[in-house]
Amino acid sequence: MENIFTEQDKKFLQQRNMQPNKVLGQIDNYRKGFPFVELHEAASLKHGITQLSSKKMDDMVSVFEDFASDNEIVKFVPASGAASRMFKNLFEFRNSYRGTYDDQLELLKDKGPDSVYYFFEHIEEFAFFPDLLDAFDKRKLNFENTLKELRYERVLNTLLTEKGLCYGEIPKALIPFHIYPNEVRTAFAEHLAEGAKYARSSGNVCKIHFTVSPQHMEMMHDHFQELKDTYEDRYNIRYEISYSLQDPSTDVITVDMNNNPLRNELGEFVFRPGGHGALLKNLNELKADLIIIKNIDNVCHDRVKYDTHYYKMALCGYLVFLQEQIHSYLKGLKKPTAPSTKVITNMLSFMEHKLNIRPPLESNHWNKEKKIAFIKEKLNRPIRVCGMVENEGEPGGGPFWVENKDGSFGLQIIEASQINSKDENQLEIINRSTHFNPVDLICSTIDFEGKHFNLYDYVNPNTGFISHKSLDGEEIKAQELPGLWNGTMADWITIFVEVPLITFNPVKIINDLLRTQHLNMT
How many other C-beta atoms are found inside a 10 Å radius of the C-beta of residue 311? 23
Whether 469 has a pLDDT exceeding 90, the answer reads no
User: For residue 137, what pLDDT is reported?
Assistant: 97
Measure the CA–CA gap between 447 and 280, rounded to whole angstroms. 18
Q: What angle do CA 387, 299, 241 make, to 5 degrees?
A: 95
Q: How many CB atoms lie within 10 A of CB 258?
A: 8
Work out the mean pLDDT of the chain and round it to a whole number: 93
Mean pLDDT in residue range 392-396: 61
Q: Which pLDDT band, with edges at 50, 70 and 90, does 5 fall under?
A: confident
pLDDT of residue 82: 78
Per-residue burial over 21-39, b if 16 or more Cβ lie within 10 Å, else e, is eebbebbebbeeebebbeb
> Which H helix or E strand runs over 372?
helix 368-379
- Residue 1: predicted pLDDT: 47
Q: Span 152-157, mean pLDDT?
A: 96
Give percent of the chain with pLDDT exceeding 70: 98
Average pLDDT over residues 426-448: 92
* 305-312, Cβ contacts within 8 angstroms, sequence gap of 24 or more: 305/193, 305/194, 305/197, 307/500, 307/502, 307/503, 308/194, 308/502, 308/503, 309/194, 309/197, 309/198, 310/57, 310/61, 311/57, 311/387, 311/499, 311/500, 311/503, 312/194, 312/198, 312/440, 312/442, 312/503
* Average pLDDT rounded to a whole number, residues 233-252: 93
Of 444, 343, 432, 360, the C-alpha closest to 46 is 432
pLDDT digits (tens, 9 = 90+) for 208-234: 999 998 899 999 999 999 999 999 999
Longest CA–CA separation in the chain, Å: 85
Q: What is the mean pLDDT of residues 392-411?
A: 85
What is the pLDDT at residue 205?
A: 97
Rounded (5°) CA angle 212-214-219: 75
Q: pLDDT digit string (tens) for 6-15?
A: 999 999 999 9
pLDDT in the model for residue 396:
58
Tens-digit pLDDT profile for residues 279-304: 999 999 999 999 999 999 999 999 99
Pick from 127, 128, 131, 132: which is nearest to 143 by CA? 132
Using CB atoms within 10 A of its CB, is residue 306 exposed (0-12), middle (13-18) or buried (19+)?
A: exposed
Q: Give tens-digit pLDDT for 86-118.
A: 999 999 999 999 888 888 889 999 999 999 999
pLDDT > 90 in the chain, percent:
81
397: pLDDT strictly greater than 80: no
pLDDT at 394: 57
- The reported pTM is 0.93
Report the pLDDT value the prediction gives residue 275, as an integer from 0 to 100.
84
Task: Give me the pLDDT at residue 167, please.
Answer: 96
Q: What's the Cα-to-Cα distance from 265 to each of 5, 262, 269, 270, rounded to whole Å?
A: 17, 10, 10, 10
240 contacts 257 by C-beta, under 8 angstroms: no
- Please state, in angstroms and as integers, the Cα–Cα distance from residue 74 to each residue in 170, 251, 332, 518, following that order: 25, 26, 29, 25
Confidence at residue 393, expressed as pLDDT on a 0 to 100 scale: 64
Alpha carbon distance 222, 207 (integer Å): 17
Strand extents, DSSP E, 342-464: 383-390, 398-403, 409-414, 435-436, 440-444
Burial of 314 (0-12, 13-18, 19+ CB in 10 A): buried
Give the pLDDT of residue 3.
Answer: 67
